[in-house]
Copies of this chain bind each other. A is one copy, B any other.
Amino acid sequence: MENPVCRLLGTRYPLIQAGMIWCSGWELASAVSNAGGFGVIGSGSMNADILKIHIDKTRASTNSPFGINIHLLYSHAGEIMQLVMKENIPVVITSAGNPAGYTQKLRDKGIKVIHVVSSVRFAEKAEKAGVDAIVCEGFEAGGHNGIEETTSFALIPDVRRSVSLPLIAAGGIASGRGMLAAMALGADGAQIGTRFAASLESSAHINFKERILQLKEGDTRLYLRKVGPVRMIRNAFALELEAAENSGASAEELIRILGNGKPRKGIFEGKLEEGELEIGQIASLLNEIKPAAKIVEEIIKEYTEAKKNLADAKYSF
């Protein structure tokens, strides 16, 4: 375990499956962990009771380490924090909000804390708050996104030189080549969402998974800049947001259009035009729904081959 992310997580590969609303329950998390990656239950669509069921089922399905992702601004974040401390979950990945409030409490219980950021400023804040590692997430990532719109090419090296913690890159990575590029830019590991959202074990609706496979460049966009940016598929709902934004809609008006439960409707219920279909730009590369274990295997294989290929004469000058 020479890799700092593997050492921190106790995994074979420095490859984290992103916690994703309505996609990443126990089936996906345990499948990724069993395959040598780090599976994550996304708690953003769960209350503590539901999460407890997912924790128990994950533990019954794998002996490998796994984590819980907690969106700090989520209404159930408080009860979920209580649960992960009681359950002694080895690793918690926090996103949004300020990690200072919970980090020390979690660490006092022996729980490792990884915080997701979209900027150098928040990476430095997280390091000061005492987290164990950083995920830096670029503009190309699906779902909630940073206001600075910094892409992975610019963000990874900037965060790398600013903090000394293990650094996991996210946003735009769905393949071994992507993982290698992240490492070249200074990351120690990769977090992958989009590709696992379209895996067999993802709890997303089959309609959503099949829609992901059809996406081409430009089919996802960043919306809701005035409220809190979100990348999603450009479906009927998104075009409604787009029209409103183009004509100068206020945050209040956008929140009204957003309404409630749109991600559930789209991702979990498969209503492809009404729902909010959060997914990353890199979806354009995907063309098949595969088991998570196969995805992990393919990514690591491609990573290793791509690294070997860089020894070719065409890359030396």
Interface residues of chain A, those whose CB is within 8 Å of chain B, are 2-4, 6, 12-14, 119-121, 138-140, 147-155, 157-158, 161, 171-173, 175, 177-178, 180-186, 188, 216-218, 221-222, 226, 246-249, 280-282, 284-285, 300, 304, 306-307, 310, 312-317
> How many Å from the CB of A241 to the closest CB on chain B?
14
Contact check, A178 vs B185: say whether CB atoms are below 8 A apart: yes
Residues on B with beta carbons closer than 8 Å to the beta carbon of A185: 177-178, 181
| Cα distance, A12 to B316, chains bound together (Å) | 10
Partner of A217 from B6, B154, B216, B249 at Cβ < 8 Å: B154
> How many Å from the CB of A308 to the closest CB on chain B?
10
Residues on B with beta carbons closer than 8 Å to the beta carbon of A147: 218
Partner of A188 from B284, B285, B314 at Cβ < 8 Å: B314
Which B residue sits closest to A283, measured CB to CB?
A: B154
Contact check, A310 vs B139: say whether CB atoms are below 8 A apart: no
> How many Å from the CB of A123 to the closest CB on chain B?
10
Known contacts: A218-B147, A307-B315. The answer to whether A172 contacts B184 by CB under 8 A is: no
| Cα distance, A94 to B182, chains bound together (Å) | 30
- Given contacts A2-B312, A152-B153, A178-B185, could you give 12 more A-B pairs where the C-beta distance is less than 8 Å? A139-B151, A140-B151, A140-B153, A153-B173, A154-B284, A158-B217, A177-B184, A177-B185, A180-B184, A184-B306, A184-B307, A307-B315
> How many Å from the CB of A172 to the closest CB on chain B?
3
| Cα distance, A185 to B154, chains bound together (Å) | 15
| Cα distance, A91 to B257, chains bound together (Å) | 51
Partner of A178 from B120, B153, B172, B249 at Cβ < 8 Å: B153
Contact check, B148 vs A151: say whether CB atoms are below 8 A apart: no
Copies of this protein, total: 2
Q: Give the 3 A-B CB pairs with smallest separation, nearest first.
A: A248-B248, A153-B172, A148-B218
Residues on B with beta carbons closer than 8 Å to the beta carbon of A226: 246
Residues on B with beta carbons closer than 8 Å to the beta carbon of A173: 153
Contact check, B246 vs A119: say whether CB atoms are below 8 A apart: no
Contact check, A153 vs B154: say whether CB atoms are below 8 A apart: no
| Cα distance, A152 to B178, chains bound together (Å) | 11
Partner of A153 from B181, B183, B188, B218 at Cβ < 8 Å: B181
Some 14 contacts from A to B, beta carbons below 8 A apart, are A2-B312, A3-B317, A120-B217, A139-B140, A149-B222, A153-B171, A153-B173, A153-B181, A154-B172, A157-B285, A178-B185, A180-B310, A188-B314, A307-B315
Residues on B with beta carbons closer than 8 Å to the beta carbon of A139: 139-140, 151
Contact check, A247 vs B246: say whether CB atoms are below 8 A apart: no
Residues on B with beta carbons closer than 8 Å to the beta carbon of A312: 2
Partner of A12 from B152, B222, B280, B317 at Cβ < 8 Å: B317
Known contacts: A181-B153, A181-B182. The answer to whether A2 contacts B313 by CB under 8 A is: yes
| Cα distance, A85 to B184, chains bound together (Å) | 40
Contact check, B285 vs A183: say whether CB atoms are below 8 A apart: no
| Cα distance, A222 to B313, chains bound together (Å) | 38
| Cα distance, A12 to B306, chains bound together (Å) | 23
Partner of A221 from B149, B154, B158, B304 at Cβ < 8 Å: B149
